[in-house]
Structure 1
Amino acid sequence: MSVHALLIPNVTWPELLAHARRLEELGVTTVWVDDHLLNPAHPGRSWLGAWSVLPALAAATSRIRLGPLVANGVLHPPAVLARHALSVDHISGGRLELGLGSGYAKADLAAGQATEFDTVVSTVDKALRGEPVVDGFPPLAPAGRIPLTIAAHGRRALETAARYGDRWVSYGGFGLDEPTHLARTRRRIAVVDEIRPVRKMLLAGSPAVTAAPIWSSVQAATDFTGRYREAGIDEFTFYYPPSAMWSSPKADEVFEDFVSRQ
């Protein structure tokens, strides 16, 4: 089972880098970085931009895959987003995983451009396949195929994810009890599989989106992932460090023990 980790860039650069290097030591598959204009939970507090952080992480690591989870299609014009992706992929030696989403934070929606999500995805997809996307200019010339991970919840977005994505990702929803969360996940998986089966990933580990206390023990984490794997989830991304979400130093120890067993 693939385990990934999401870094929330609301800390200093030395802290964020230390987290990424520790995750590389642990052997997680991908280090993702959250992409917003401002800290969505606390807009007045510190926040580092994902597309500034990612090339720095690419230069400071050697094995782990990297990417935004998810690059906000509201904030970035598709051609510019594709150029960011190609640059980070080059700096990292082909280790980029590109996550795309439509955004939900109020500050992002207020500052961004109202571009249809399927237009963002299809334009980025064309650019990453070496097709021209800006009139009068040559294609962006990718060195190789960059995997696309597409976040989606509604029917139309799920269809876009299935049509263009290598992987679909969801956090399920905010403030849901686990039976409701799991039932919604099953329904969305069914929509994706109806169109084109792709890899399916769940973002979990924050109390805001995960009612179950998964980091209370390795067994609790194993039970949680087992329920969602049975529903059709292939991969998991967990917020890191979990102790920042659960206010428990033990959560980090449980996470590391859990990852070591995968």
Structure 2
Amino acid sequence: MSLRLSTVILPYRRWSEGGRSAWMRAEQLGFHTGYTYDHLSWRSFRDGPWFGAVPTLTAAAAATDRLRLGTLVTSPNFRHPVTLAKELISLDDISGGRITLGIGAGGTGFDATALSKSSQEPWTPRERADRFAEFVPLLDRLLTEDAVTYEGRFYSAHEARNIPGCVQRPRLPFAVAATGPRGLRLAARHGQAWVTTGDPKLYENGTPEQSVEALRGQLEKLSETCASIGRDVTELEKVLLTGFTPDRGRPLESLDAFVDFAGRHQELGFTEIVIHWPIPDSDFAADEKVFERIAMEAPAQLA
């Protein structure tokens, strides 16, 4: 199976000052999907420009014709399933059925508490997992049923209507980011794809070889989880979001370096590799000419 190559375009530029042109260029370069982060702001970009994911993807849908579009990832930190479902159905309609929802349990970054009282602590990993376990199945129902009534521990819906539903049937695909047991069960049950960034414990002091073995272990756990519910793991796309393994930006230093990196992960079973659009003076800095060469030539070498 050939390896899909996708990109993440962070929403830090005004649409008229490079935002629009990046999405159009992503389509011209042949990327499979253009993703963006769904945050209120993010890490080192906290004190600079940052735009909303759904409006950005809506504009990108109007500026492109073939490029798939998606979040990587949306989380319950500041989303509610009812309102998110309405936005997703609208976005899927505007794009002509080109939307993928990357979804995860969320983290503890500063924007995770943006809707909280100043004295409130971020949710613990268990609390995030609890909400995620309720969020995903409810969102699944909202995107596939005309009307939903639900009363849960964290979320509720009263005759929430989502007519006419998604262009993609039975709904737009979910790419579920998960490494723990509960998240993997959600990916196995509700996902059309599974997303990982690798093992965060290896980011600072691990080696590329250790990272590959950690990813191998994650893939094995995904396979076991799918088997436990009677699902064939080959039905799921396996997506690696790069930039968070010990390799960091080295795979983007040259075409050969990327093909070597991507090939090793393709052998593990990954079907899609996602690379960040270069951003000068950031963790995602890269030579744009090399980046474009990778986009145009690497997929053929990995076919």
1:98-131 deviation per Cα after TM superposition (whole angstroms, max 9, x unaligned): 1111222522321257661111111111111125
| 1:177–1:112 Cα change, 3 Å | farther
> Could you say which residue in structure 1 is the equivalent of 2:278?
241
CA drift of 1:31 comes to: 0.6
Q: Which moved more, 1:120-129 or 1:140-149?
A: 140-149
- Work out which of the residue numbers 157, 166, 169 in structure 1 matches 2:195: 169
| 1:23–1:212 Cα change, 3 Å | closer
Is 1:220 matched up with 2:257? yes
CA drift of 1:256 comes to: 3.2
CA distance in 2, matches of 1:41, 1:242: 12
CA distance in 2, matches of 1:188, 1:146: 25
CA distance in 1, matches of 2:141, 2:244: 37
**Does the aligned pair in 1 maintain the 2:194–2:238 contact within 8 Å?**
yes
**Does the aligned pair in 1 maintain the 2:177–2:195 contact within 8 Å?**
yes
> Could you say which residue in structure 2 is the equivalent of 1:126?
141
> Could you say which residue in structure 2 is the equivalent of 1:94?
97
Please tell me the residue identity of whatever aligns with 1:75: F
- Work out which of the residue numbers 204, 208, 213 in structure 2 matches 1:178: 208
| 1:53–1:29 Cα change, 3 Å | same
Dislocated runs of 4+, deviation >4 Å: 112-115
| 1:12–1:259 Cα change, 3 Å | farther
> Could you say which residue in structure 2 is the equivalent of 1:199?
237
CA distance in 2, matches of 1:94, 1:148: 13
1:127-174 deviation per Cα after TM superposition (whole angstroms, max 9, x unaligned): 111251422343454133211101112221122111110000111134
CA distance in 2, matches of 1:219, 1:159: 36
Alignment TM-score, normalising by the size of structure 1: 0.90
> Could you say which residue in structure 1 is the equivalent of 2:9?
7
Contiguous gaps of at least 5 residues in structure 1: none
| 1:50–1:220 Cα change, 3 Å | same
CA drift of 1:95 comes to: 0.8
How do 1:141-152 residues align onto structure 2 when only pairs under 5 Å count?
141-143=164-166, 144=169, 145-152=171-178
Count how many residue pairs are aligned between Structure 1 and Structure 2. 261
Is 1:83 matched up with 2:86? yes
CA drift of 1:252 comes to: 2.4
CA distance in 2, matches of 1:151, 1:207: 14
Q: Percent identity?
A: 29
Q: Tell me how large the CA RMSD over aligned residues is.
A: 2.2
Q: SS of the residue aligned with 1:132?
A: strand
Q: SS of the residue aligned with 1:47?
A: coil
Q: Which moved more, 1:181-190 or 1:207-216?
A: 207-216
